Structure 1
């Protein structure tokens, strides 16, 4: 029995070597969510931002939707799918309350460097040190796979941020990227895709270079249903942008929405013969952020705890460890080589980080 791999990852080199086939994973979904702190993932709504009446500083009540004195209940209220299905059948790393750490390796601690690290397995502070729209000189895990006969034309990328075509280097890799305010294109658009195209034109979010996550999610889901790709990278963005705007209420709502999108993706995988029991899903974030009222809106070198991240994995080759409470240290840079090994391949870049052994059989 094989399972599809849902991973937040990028792969390097286009000459991967076939390794001994001992895994059940045939497909990978790599999912990222921008700037979601481990504190909300593992503890729910932060008491520093929600007072004892449940009122947020700026406006509105979060009490009924997100607040309980017990952090275990709070996290279930915020991310019910994560703390049911993923916690029961998968693995969750990064709860620093137990000394279980996940750290970014790059020292920039913002988005482009973070995504480069995840997708290549190697931090590159020398070349990737801004969020500018410059094509990535490094080869991602996605491009390595696109170069293999078994995966060519079967790798898709969707992102809310309009820089992803450059991070993935769409021009060089030949991987189709739907990001920013891109629409679904082609001669055989579904009725749903036509509707999403129209709504994206009519409903503008508050940010110039980032669209609202519902568009990214539904473009991705429609394309998955039509094309049945083997490797999918979906990058959601709202939590980071709402945090930058100091909107803790919308930050929480976007996290709960993201959790619902994970449920929808996993339910589709497990109900679709091409994916069921053949897919691994890996979820992670590109950076952490500050921990108090003066710094939680930001991240970067000047906010050291921006290094703190997390990783979630679920799939046919991964044991159901749930929330990992033992001391340890992992890096999102380890995802690239891990994905290749799950697919029975040897990662072509010898400089990439090592594998996450617990996710492998």
Structure 2
């Protein structure tokens, strides 16, 4: 009798271990895109080939060095993005560290913003999309696909620092909320939403018309999240790419550091809100890479390494593997189906859709 009881206990423990190895799907999803942020800084921290060059430190090079420099890559990357390395690298998965044999890159041949976002969200490389001025995207994106599923209608929202995102996600066709530069959130507002609306109009347009600072974009998204509880929230950040094009490495590093603070803030919000707690996954990726050495400021098909990206995920449906090693090659076009799969959905479209990444 004791032997039967013991076998039953062992069986239950074994079954429990099996369940733990197959995380439950998420009910909600928060997505961040970091425009043009390189895998080099993510995995290696501040780049010695750039940070020591005074022409790329426009404000205070001593301050930048103190804040972000350390003798080894592990210390540097943790100083730059502490939440990623203290939490996401422990509880989730990080793909794209080429030093560990994990490669992620865009399928498209252009290696810049509109084609990169289109590929990532449509799960498909459309060679006709070859310009940042391209009109409304004719391809179905995963966000509108999710918005059409039972329980998600009207529960998918996007907030973007760059106005082209409205065309990339084709809000004209699908009617989703895609908030961009200069636009206020309408309707009955909470005090936090009203303040976020006002704040964006009080910040300098340092990048010119069509783009707003990431801090304003995030706070508008956060206020909407707490007020409306969308099931899918997409926050499109642009500061990294803009500061890089300006050749301002200190501000480029700051943009990544503050993005990391946004990840932490939204994760803490998720854990304290019963609607989201233990039911929400977090995903982070870029739209393209950029050059190295003196060419770090730009990107595009003429600059080697501009096609190199990464993918990070954490939460329900994501096994805790940390930095993924020896994984071969993953494509950005796989991101769309991966995000749908986290919600227990299979993304289908009139065009081909790449298979999801095996993150479960």
Work out which of the two has the higher radius of gyration on C-alpha atoms and give 1 or 2. Answer: 2
Partner of 1:212: 213
RMSD: 1.8
* CA deviation profile, 1:50-90 (whole Å, cap 9, x unmatched): 229x9955441212100111111000000000010001101
**In structure 1, C-alpha distance between the alignment counterparts of 2:29 and 2:152, rounded to whole Å:** 11
Deviation at 1:340, TM superposition (A): 2.1
Work out whether 1:37 is the aligned partner of 2:38: yes
**Which residue does 2:251 correspond to in 1?**
250
Q: Aligned pair 1:321/2:313, yes or no?
A: no
1:28 corresponds to: 29
**Distance across 1 between alignment mates of 2:97 and 2:32:** 19
User: Are the counterparts in 1 of residues 196 and 223 from structure 2 also a CA contact under 8 Å?
Assistant: no
Paired residue secondary structure (2:88):
helix
Pairing partner for 2:72 from 70, 73, 76: 70
Task: Report if the CA contact (8 A) 2:32-2:236 is conserved.
Answer: yes
Q: How does 1:134-283 map to 2 (within 5 A)?
A: 134-186=135-187, 188-208=188-208, 209-283=210-284
Give 1:291 shift.
0.5
* Secondary structure of 2:77 counterpart: helix
Q: Structure 1-normalised TM-score?
A: 0.89
Q: Distance in 2 between matches of 1:308 and 1:138?
A: 23
Contact 2:121–2:143 (CA under 8 A) maintained in structure 1: yes
For the structure 1 residues 58 and 190, does the alpha-carbon distance in structure 2 shift closer, same or farther, using more than 3 Å as the test?
Answer: same
- Which structure 2 residues correspond to residues 99-118 of structure 1 after superposition, within 5 A? 99-118=101-120
Any stretches of 5+ residues in structure 2 without a counterpart? Answer: 1-22
**Number of aligned pairs?**
335
Following superposition, the deviation at residue 250 of structure 1 comes to 0.5
Deviations 1:23-75 (CA, angstroms, capped at 9, x unpaired): 431111121110000000001100011229x9955441212100111111000
- Give, in whole Å, the separation in 1 of the partners of 2:151 and 2:38: 36
Match of 1:47 in 2: 48
For 1:347 and 1:196, the matched residues in 2 are separated by 33
Secondary structure of the residue aligned to 2:306 is helix
After the TM superposition, which of the residue ranges 194-203 and 135-144 deviates more from structure 2? 194-203
Structure 2 CA distance for aligned equivalents of residues 337 and 205 of structure 1: 35
Deviation at 1:346, TM superposition (A): 2.1
Please tell me whether residue 344 in structure 1 is matched to residue 347 in structure 2: no
Higher helix residue share: 2
C-alpha contact (below 8 Å) 2:114/2:132 kept by paired residues: yes
Distance 1:42 1:265, change over 3 A: same
Structure 1 residue ranges, 4+ long, deviating more than 3 angstroms after superposition: 54-59
Q: Secondary structure at the match of 1:102?
A: strand
